[in-house]
Amino acid sequence: MDWREVAEEIYDKVTRALDYWCWNVSGDTALDCYCAHQDRDFYSLAEEFCGWSRFKITEKDLELLQSMPDDIYEEYNNKLQEAIEKVVDKLSQEVV
């Protein structure tokens, strides 16, 4: 199994789901929404959006995240955190 490919696929689903949630569903501003998700890890964000047919994050994805090698999980967890931080920084600058 190519764990990086698996991680990238789940990462793409999670980032799309979070983006959609923060811009279209959440009752908060996009900035507040992203800030509220900043301290969440890769697994918990995947779990939050699991079952949404729009994004196709499945229980199988959660199982894969749990069995993924730690180094790859951490790499994508960090990538996700950096992506959220970039959005927060950009949105913060727009507010000022």
Q: What is the pLDDT of residues 39-75, one digit of tens each?
A: 999 999 999 999 987 889 999 999 999 999 999 999 9
Mean pLDDT of the chain: 94
Cα(86)–Cα(91) distance, rounded to whole angstroms? Answer: 9
For 21-41, the three-class secondary structure string (H helix, E strand, C coil) is HHHHHCCCCHHHHHHHHCCCC
Asked if residue 87 lies in contact with residue 15, where contact means CB atoms within 8 angstroms, the answer is no
Domain membership flag for residue 74: yes
Domain membership flag for residue 46: yes
Number of structural domains found in the chain:
1
Domain membership flag for residue 78: yes
**pLDDT tens-digit readout, 10-37:** 999 999 999 999 999 999 999 999 999 9
What phi, psi does 53 have (nearest 5°)? Answer: -60, -30
pLDDT band per the 50, 70, 90 thresholds, residue 96 = low
Share of the chain above pLDDT 70, in %: 98
Could you tell me the residue range of the domain that residue 82 belongs to?
Answer: 3-91
Nearest to 16 by CA among 48, 67, 72, 55: 55
pTM: 0.92
